Amino acid sequence: MSPTDVALVLGTRPEIVKLAGVARLLGPRARIVWTGQHWDPTLTTSFFEQYGLPRPDHLLTGIGGEPRGRQLGLMVSALSDHFAARRPAAVVVQGDTNSAAAGALAAHCAGVPVVHVEAGLRSFDRAMPEEANRRLIAPVADLHCAPTATAAAYLLREGIEPQRVVVTGNTVVEATLETLPPEGRVRRILAEHGVVPDGYVLATVHRPENTDDPARLTRILDQLAALALPVLLPLHPRTAAALGRLRLDHTATALRRIPPLDHATFLALARHSRLLVSDSGGVQEECTVLKRPLIVVRNSTERPEAVAAGFARLARPGPELATALREVLADETLPARLARTPSPYGTGDASTTIVTALRARYLTPAPTLLPA
């Protein structure tokens, strides 16, 4: 018999968020495979529950916390065994994580079609592990679901056949709109954190380029702490570990350090922040839906659309970040401009477009049950 389901390989919080809509639309034809790349329950378990997803059909063990090379090897081996035992009609991977790279490679080796959601992003920064993962997935993917025309153009420039590329929009749009709490709940969340609309900064820092460099992390924290507005700083486990390991706890005392947030609470706080400061890829997309300005604290970005639309500004720690903080906070016309600027990532139908393409290419119609 031909395979009748699609395996969705997930291993991190963003993958849960961005593939939940696809999984729900596929219904019983979605097989959720959890790699365990994110092993902290505050970043995973609550997210499955929040998005109404069932427990994974298959779970990998011994992955979280391993070095990148070993993590990739363990995942490829375990996923290869799983796909050999239960061959799916296709394997869906999302973004640029180690889980996505391993899922794509294992599926390709098993002769199973690979569908890459959020395909074609490029930072052109070889130092980024995510860039390596994206470029590893591209040659083995059979269907590239590009979120924007820019991403599609990058793929075509690299020699990907046009018939394998579909511009779908980004699933982050519907995920953000569906998850943002009602305004009454949003206001209660702000009150619980002691802030008022447009009267605070929300910051997240978790990428190795920032957390593993003591001088760089110190500059970021010092420049945030110098702001006149209160700064909420949800601590990613990697950032919390870096503060202790690098003995930088004293540099964050002027910031309001809080535990990691569930997605709905983060969006509620982001929605009414005066400014977002982050090195996250997903926040670069979410800010275009929430209509909030963002300073991207990184060397490069794979999401130039958010910058071109005026939502995001790239700034390295140091003088660049200081200038960006000062100028963005002083621009009183910015909120009105962003409020009327459409998101470059679509209007909220990406999951439907992706599932339509999946069904057309890889899933035979469900059998019709005849009356007894």
Q: Which of 17, 80, 2, 76 is nearest to 52 (CA)?
A: 17
Same domain for 68 and 211? Answer: no
Same domain for 335 and 186? Answer: yes
Q: Mind listing the pLDDT tens digit for each residue in 83-126?
A: 999 999 999 999 999 999 999 999 999 999 999 999 999 999 99
Same domain for 128 and 207? Answer: no
Same domain for 321 and 183? Answer: yes
C-alpha to C-alpha distance for 269 and 352, rounded to whole angstroms: 28
Is the pLDDT score of 47 beyond 80? no
Q: Which residues contact 194 (CB under 8 A, 6 or more apart)?
A: 230, 256
Q: Is residue 367 part of a domain?
A: no
Same domain for 310 and 290? Answer: yes
Which residues are annotated as catalytic? 206
Residue 246 has a pLDDT of 78
Same domain for 62 and 105? Answer: yes
Residue 69 has a pLDDT of 95
Return the ∠ at Cα 180 (arms to 42 and 205), rounded to 5°. 50
Give me the chain's average pLDDT, please: 93
Same domain for 11 and 130? Answer: yes
**Which segments of the chain are extended strands (E)?**
6-10, 30-34, 58-59, 90-94, 114-117, 143-146, 165-167, 201-204, 231-234, 256-258, 275-278, 294-296, 312-314
Q: Does residue 240 or residue 144 have the better pLDDT?
A: 144
C-alpha to C-alpha distance for 33 and 26, rounded to whole angstroms: 14
Measured in whole angstroms, the distance separating CA 14 from the mean position of its chain's CA atoms is 4
Q: Is residue 368 part of a domain?
A: no
Same domain for 263 and 327? Answer: yes
Same domain for 142 and 224? Answer: no
Q: Is residue 312 part of a domain?
A: yes
0.75 exceeded by pTM = yes
Is the pLDDT score of 317 beyond 80? yes
Residue 22 has a pLDDT of 97
Q: Is residue 136 part of a domain?
A: yes
Largest CA distance in the chain: 75
Q: Which residues contact 122 (CB under 8 A, 6 or more apart)?
A: 131, 134, 151, 154, 302
Same domain for 164 and 182? Answer: no
Q: Mind listing the pLDDT tens digit for each residue in 236-275?
A: 888 888 888 877 766 667 799 999 898 899 999 999 999 9
Same domain for 205 and 317? Answer: yes
The CATH number of whichever domain residue 231 belongs to comes to 3.40.50.2000
Q: Is residue 370 part of a domain?
A: no
- List the domain range (segments joined by +) for residue 273: 177-339
Q: Which of 190-199, 236-245, 284-293 has the lowest mean pLDDT?
A: 236-245
Q: Which residues contact 273 (CB under 8 A, 6 or more apart)?
A: 198, 200, 201, 202, 232, 292
Q: Is residue 371 part of a domain?
A: no
Residue 254 has a pLDDT of 76
Same domain for 148 and 190? Answer: no
**Range 327-333 average pLDDT:** 97
Cβ pair 89, 5 in contact under 8 A: yes
Q: Are strands 143-146 and 114-117 parallel, antiparallel or unpaired?
A: parallel
Instruction: Give the three-class secondary structure for 8.
Output: strand
Domains in the chain, number: 2
